[in-house]
Amino acid sequence: MADSSCLTIEKGLGPEGRIAVVRFDRGDNLNAMSPEAARQLTAAARSFEDDATTSVVVLTGTVKAFCAGFDLKDAEGQSRRNMDLGTLRRHLKIGPRLCRAWHEMQQITIGAIEGFCIGGGVSIAVALDFRVMARDAHMRLPEIGLGMNMSWQTAPRMLHLIGPARTKQALLLADDRIMAPEALDWGLIEMLAEPGHAFDTAMVLAAKIAAQPPLSVAMTKLTVNRLAHALDDLASHMEDDQFALASLTEDNKEGVNAFLGRRPPRFKGW
């Protein structure tokens, strides 16, 4: 589907007009990620670089879905199958660039999650500062079940939030849903909301943060992030290359074909 305008940005909300809302909506019930949608979300994050007025940004999807992950039917995404390794490596920077842009924002970022948050949607969510999730919503990381590995620096960010065992559990048990109460118990999210009210709850949190001194808030975020994520970049290049190599395997082709054909995959280890 077209991505000509899958984002809306509203600024000047809350205390002293310091809250902005970015809404991701591709106009369907899945809200899946395409390369073009990823570019738009990256540009949205970067549009706040010189914004001295906004101190909190709330990112939300629709009432049915935060994001269903990468759209395996997207034409540009499918073209990866015919790319040489060099072209593929360059194309695969789109996702990491998106998450890095949101992670490095000077503003405090809050995700308001309804419905489902899958794959790349989780990658975006864990790149934010806080996550608010409806009680009936869930997360899932299907990449390994599709013959891929998890990229976009998702693993190190999850590691900081929930520790090594839970991170491996979430990534390796690709078919298991992480329901919102479980995500809260793990530390994957910070707040639960009643169904249909994740955005409202996120806005209440945003208002509390926006009422604080903006410079102190921004400097505190920078200090905490630099200390917590100082070593993450050391593994980022390996992660991207692992994804590129996994994309060339027969198991990846089998995983994607099985998903599209709605049948169990038959992996062979090559």
> What are the beta bridge partners of residue 24?
7
Burial of 149 (0-12, 13-18, 19+ CB in 10 A): buried
CB of 128 within 8 A of CB of 59?
yes
Structure tokens given for 186:
């793990």
Looking at the predicted structure, is the pLDDT value of residue 85 above 90? no
Domain ranges of the chain: 7-197+210-260
> What are the beta bridge partners of residue 56?
19, 108
What's residue 263's pLDDT?
Answer: 85
pTM of the model: 0.87
Task: List pLDDT tens digits, range 191-219.
Answer: 999 999 999 999 999 999 999 999 999 99
What's residue 2's pLDDT?
Answer: 47
Measured CA to CA, the distance from residue 52 to residue 230 in angstroms comes to: 26
Q: Please, what CATH class does the domain formed by 7-197+210-260 belong to?
A: alpha beta
Task: List pLDDT tens digits, range 24-78.
Answer: 999 887 899 988 999 999 999 999 999 999 999 999 999 999 999 887 676 666 6
Looking at the predicted structure, is the pLDDT value of residue 86 above 80? no
CB of 129 within 8 A of CB of 221?
yes
Provide the percentage of residues in the chain whose pLDDT is more than 70: 90
What's residue 175's pLDDT?
Answer: 86
What's residue 1's pLDDT?
Answer: 46
Task: List pLDDT tens digits, range 223-265.
Answer: 999 998 877 766 666 676 777 667 777 777 777 777 778 788 8
